[in-house]
Amino acid sequence: MLFEHLELRLTGGDMLQISGPNGSGKTSLLRLLAGLMQPTSGEVLLNGLPLHAQRTELAHNLLWIGHAAGIKDLLTAEENLSWLCALHQPARREAIWQALAAVGLRGFEDVPCHTLSAGQQRRVALARLYLDSPPLWILDEPFTALDKQGVAQLEEHLAAHCERGGAVVLTTHHSLTRMPSGYRDMDLGRWAA
């Protein structure tokens, strides 16, 4: 048991940072919220209904980016984004190129991802946040491998998403400097079983 008696509620405009020591269940909690795992007790609700009964609704409302970049090494940056978007909301080539430019990858659209640095691969994954994306973003360590400029840009983009009525749940060991008004931190160390 990682944690128990945990209760939280998220609405548009909220940013929830899940913190705690390594092994406290941060990634497990994100996976529960994203419907990738089932709780051993209790429920995860979406709009008041059990998550497991709303798989399609969840898929339309959620963007999950895990700790790993989640991209295919042999595909180009453009091909990766096209493939990932096709799962939920297909994106036009121009929109994909604009998203890649937004994360500093203009000129890398046709480069196979295995030739990119770890930071550039992370940027390919994060470019999904610049496409027509769902309102709820669940992000596991999104700042991994980013340089200072990338970190500042991502912080700004996450806060802007919340200010437009979206919601963000994230884990990070990074101290955020840009937080929306709906920001709060949940330390899982306090909820340990």
pLDDT in tens, 133-189: 899 999 999 999 999 999 999 999 999 999 999 999 999 988 999 999 999 999 987
* pLDDT band (50, 70, 90) for residue 23: confident
Tens digit of each residue's pLDDT (9 = 90 or more) over 64-112:
999 888 999 999 999 999 998 887 778 999 999 999 999 999 999 999 9
- Domains, the chain, with CATH or none: 14-191 (3.40.50.300)
CA dihedral 70, 75, 77, 81 (to 10 degrees): -60
Which residues are bridge partners to 76 per DSSP?
112
Dump strand ranges (E) for the chain.
Answer: 14-19, 45-46, 49-50, 62-65, 136-140, 167-171, 182-187
Torsions phi, psi for 133 (to 5 deg): -115, 160
Give the per-residue pLDDT at 167: 97
> SS3 for 172?
coil
- 86 close to 68: Cβ distance less than 8 angstroms: no
Q: pLDDT at position 114, please?
A: 97
Alpha helix ranges (H) inside 7-130? 26-33, 55-61, 77-86, 93-102, 118-126
**Averaged confidence pLDDT in the chain:** 92
